Chain A
């Protein structure tokens, strides 16, 4: 019994190291799939610390990306590895290049997509899991894909997710719905910065104000107690 207990204690940290939150898995999907077309123009690498990434992980992620760094002494454009304080940004240097690579369409920026997309995260997940092969005889406009979540049943984004497409570091089975939900969690985090802190601070502030209101209520009653006449 005791050995079992020790064994489980030893196993637990190993398990903890591999366990990851939906947001962290969503980041993995973003890095391996979405980020080849979509930008995160306002989220910095350092912001990812809020998801529980370590400083060294953030530094390593940032260092993978070369970003423009003005001109060198000969006047040629030069680049440098990104710093943690740089925004994750776009895979394309310009909006024109993004359109060129995507049949004229501009892949939307992910920073506030959870907020600006009508229907929010649920709609995004819905779109991601609603790719099927079109029924017989269904004609699609060129450069579009059959998707049952869209009002006209087609979408310009090619199906981004496939079962087993990526390998989660925590060993989660990478099915399309799993990846879609994880990406949804990640986008939700990006679109509502500091939501967790906001709620925590809010609880604290509300309870403070509630207690103060209680004190003021009693105090006010006491002060006005002398004025017993019915107020008109």
Chain B
């Protein structure tokens, strides 16, 4: 028998883990707490990485110039801005008249555009910087589908938007109807007219501090 064995069979049997003095409990609690805090801190870089390369796009300008010369009254064209479909429409006098019709305004959730879904210079009855040109982001405020444009016809000269997903309705200025699920008007991007025939999306002369990220919902 070796010395190793002898020391193992000496006579102090170990009992249950001792109910140590209070000091040990405090120490154990602090140590475990510190370990947990470290584990939580470790989660930070992993979650942070889910933000991807977003910080790299700080100050990136999103300027899109649109040529209006080919657009006829009553028509709309769709352009892409920041990956979103943007409706650019030229309105007919009938459409403009309809936008101010009190019978219509009663059916709308936010006829005066009080909720910040647009730059300040578009918070008016036609929701744009010039009445005859309408610009709005074509993403339904209900669940994000792209509404289809019901172009004005002889029978229905006002024109409106219908969302194919859940039947939300918007008038031709993108204002949501009360009896449909979409809660807010369609968002309006910052727009500036740079000539009679050209407009610039991404810059707002009337509301230079406007940031599309700060609107209520997109």
Binding site for B on A (CB under 8 A): 44, 46-47, 49, 55-56, 58-59, 83-85, 208-209, 211-212, 215-216, 218-219, 222-223, 226-232
Contacts and interface: CB of A to CB of B under 8 A. Distances in A.
A106 to B, nearest CB: 27
A221 B15 CA distance: 17
A222 B4 CA distance: 24
Contacts of B31: 212, 215-216, 219
B12 interface: yes
Contacts of A216: 31
A4 to B, nearest CB: 40
Contacts of B8: 229, 232
Given A49-B58, A85-B57, A208-B38, A226 B18 contact: yes
Interface stretch (B20-28, B163-171, B201-209): B20-28
A211 B24 contact: no
B10 A229 contact: yes
A227 B14 contact: yes
The 9 A-B residue pairs with the shortest CB-CB distance, nearest first, are A232-B4, A55-B59, A215-B31, A46-B56, A85-B56, A85-B57, A230-B7, A229-B10, A222-B24
B71 interface: no
Interface residues of B, number: 29
A212 B10 CA distance: 34
26 contacts: A44-B56, A46-B57, A55-B58, A55-B59, A56-B59, A58-B59, A59-B59, A83-B60, A84-B57, A84-B58, A85-B53, A85-B57, A208-B41, A209-B38, A212-B34, A219-B24, A219-B28, A222-B27, A223-B24, A226-B14, A226-B15, A226-B18, A228-B12, A229-B8, A231-B7, A232-B5
Interface of B: 3-5, 7-8, 10, 12, 14-15, 17-18, 20, 24, 27-28, 30-31, 34-35, 38, 41, 53, 55-61
B58 A46 contact: yes
Nearest to B28: A219
A84 B56 contact: yes
B35 A212 contact: yes
B56 A229 contact: no
Contact of A215 (B3, B18, B34): B34
A83 B38 CA distance: 38
Nearest to A55: B59
A100 to B, nearest CB: 32
B51 to A, nearest CB: 14
B27 to A, nearest CB: 5
Nearest to A216: B31
A47 B12 CA distance: 65
A212 B37 CA distance: 11
Contacts of A83: 57, 60-61
Nearest to B54: A85
A216 to B, nearest CB: 6
A224 to B, nearest CB: 10
A192 to B, nearest CB: 18
Contacts of B24: 219, 222-223
A85 B60 contact: yes
Contacts of B59: 55-56, 58-59, 84
